[in-house]
Amino acid sequence: MLNLLFILGILCPLNLAEIEIRLLDPKIDGVLASRFPNSFLLGLPDCSVYGNKSAELLYTELPSNENKTKSFIVPSCSVTRLGLLLQNLKNGTTYNMQYKIAGSNDTSANLTMATTNVIDFQQIDSGLPARSGAMVVITVILSVAMAALLIGLIVVLFSS
């Protein structure tokens, strides 16, 4: 019995609570969006466990495998910070991201996400969308009225 418990204890370590890494969700976290062309908005590590500790976000650009690090201090629970904005990324590229607490082996899982693409504003078609009903009505009725008046004037001029 005791051996079984020991084996179970080895198989299930207490720090199964690894750092959570996720993009913020517009519906749950009350943000506009979390995937931008040049940045990601990530949820911060748990403030109750890692508050006031310095941490790093390791991110790798996938095609070229360029490694970069962003150091930050996990805010304590008294400060309400929404998330971590990772900026200066390239649009339309995939990144691998991972949290790591400085000075310990606590890491998060790998998060693979791609930044969105931008549409060039010159591609927006700003031509005439459609003719509205008001335009057709006013033009037709006024043209008819102009013609009728002209005919009336000519009739009046030549009958006098």
Residues that bind another protein (CB under 8 A): 26, 30-33, 36-39, 41, 81-83, 85, 87-88, 116, 118-122, 124-126, 128-132, 134-135, 138-139, 141-143, 145-146, 148-150, 152-153, 156-157, 159-160
Q: Furthest-apart CA pair in the chain: how many Å?
A: 126
Reference 84, options 94, 96, 95, 70; nearest CA is: 70
Quote the least distance from Cβ 22 to another protein, whole Å: 15
Judged by CB, which is closer to another protein: 87, or 112? 87
Quote the least distance from Cβ 2 to another protein, whole Å: 52
CA atoms within 13 A on the CB side of 48: 1
Quote the least distance from Cβ 28 to another protein, whole Å: 11
Residue 30 Rama label (left phi>0; alpha psi -120 to 50; beta)? left
Quote the least distance from Cβ 138 to another protein, whole Å: 5
Q: Structure tokens of 138?
A: 């006013």
Judged by CB, which is closer to another protein: 102, or 138? 138
CB atoms within 10 A of CB 114: 14
